Structure 1
Amino acid sequence: MQQVYGYIRVSTRDQNEERQVIAMREFGVPEENMVIDKQSGKNFARPGYRRLVKKLKPADTLVIKSIDRLGRNYDDVLEQWRLLTKEKQVDIVVLDMPLLDTRKGRDLIGTLISDIVLQLLSYVAQTEREFIHQRQAEGIAAAKARGVKFGRRPKNRPADYEIIKKAWCEGSLSARAASQQLGVTHRTFMKWIGQDNSKC
């Protein structure tokens, strides 16, 4: 018996998949046939997707909201599309792009149009991802040039740091004992010593 499955993906556990779930319901995908992954689309090593592909049989239909829900890597999306439609002989419906519905236009022209649209959309999805990374890198570089510091905020030195440092300099305290008295790690204490212009 032919089955209709819905594949839903959000990039993080904080993102809400409800919009995709509603679209699947409206299409007629049974709740038990909806598969959700809360994972990045950078590759296809996703547990839900892998289980779903194993279930799919010839003439089943796979529904996705948009092409980037399937994946974000141009070459990988094209390879998965080929695997599903050619090898597993599954139909794919992309709700946001009616041209990407392999149930329609099974003739040569229909297949050609579908392939062209798919390649274009996959390319756009990957290019947008690369632009985002580029903008992030440029933003970080610009912020660093303005003197913005990234990473964990440096720990403030306790009020008695200078006294304990002096004791360490005089040899009456070991570095480990000094760090314990200051309530910091040995590494942090030695880092502070290294940052001081006049160590002792």
Structure 2
Amino acid sequence: MSGRLFGYARVSTTDQHLDRQIEALRNYGVAERDIITDKFSGKDFNRQGYLTLKEHILRSGDILVIKELDRLGRDYEQIKIEWQELQKMGVDIVIIDMPILNTAEKSDLEKSLIANIVFELLAYTAEKERQKIKARQAEGIKLALAKGIHFGRKKTEIPENFYAECNRWLEGEQTAIATMHKLGMKKTTFYKIVNEQMPEIVRRC
């Protein structure tokens, strides 16, 4: 190896643990001082640890070791672009749980062919999974609707004495607060329904 080994580990939230990934990186031979971590979403690459690693630490000839591909990111198209940028920098990549992607000691042609095939396959698999999830969601909604289950906020029921009490309020016989109290309504709910029902309230005055 002409360069140094660096490791990268990531979890999505601050309450998740990096121990399992760090142990795997150490077992591979990465010194703990050379392991960079992030506790941030993998939706893009705007992460402090990763950007520091890529822009200020990695050099041509170095090897970047990651336990699992999804620790690098979640979007396979973005990962593919990032992968190509690292390759242009002269950085080799090792994915411990997916050895077929390892670029160390491979020719440029092998690196390109393997990466393209694997990423196309992963992107296809991810898209099929998204389609399956959408189909399951659609089936679930259809079944729920057939059973009479309704989605969204439950419509606020209007009390039987609503119009009568509102008329007293509009006629000045009682305050708005007294009206809300009699109807058992909170301020926001009361004014929301008043606004919606004003034509009917006026008609009944």
User: TM-score normalised to the size of structure 2?
Assistant: 0.71
Which residue in 2 is equivalent to 1:83?
85
Q: Distance in 1 between matches of 2:47 and 2:167?
A: 55
Structure 2, unpaired ranges of 5+: none
Residue-pair matches, total? 192
Which residue in 2 is equivalent to 1:71?
73
Alignment map for 1:173-192 (pairs within 5 Å): 173-175=174-176, 178-179=179-180, 182=184, 184-186=186-188, 188-192=189-193
Structure 1, unpaired ranges of 5+: none
Tell me, what secondary structure is at the counterpart of 1:72?
Answer: coil
Larger Rg: 2
Q: Measure how far apart 1:177 and its partner are.
A: 6.2
Structure 2 residue 114 is matched with structure 1 residue 114: yes
Q: Measure how far apart 1:5 and its partner are.
A: 1.9
Tell me, what secondary structure is at the counterpart of 1:82?
Answer: helix
Tell me, what secondary structure is at the counterpart of 1:105?
Answer: coil
Instruction: Pick closer, same or farther for the CA change 1:97–1:138 going to 2, 3 Å.
Output: same
Higher helix share: 2
Q: Where in structure 1 do 4 or more consecutive aligned residues deviate above 6 Å?
A: 152-157, 161-165
- CA-atom RMSD, angstroms? 3.5
Q: Distance in 1 between matches of 2:155 and 2:16?
A: 31
Structure 2 residue 166 is matched with structure 1 residue 168: yes
Tell me, what secondary structure is at the counterpart of 2:99?
Answer: coil
Tell me, what secondary structure is at the counterpart of 1:8?
Answer: strand
Q: Higher mean Cα deviation, 139-148 or 17-26? A: 139-148
Q: Percent identity?
A: 33
Q: Measure how far apart 1:111 and its partner are.
A: 2.3
User: TM-score normalised to the size of structure 1?
Assistant: 0.72
Which residue in 1 is equivalent to 2:49?
48
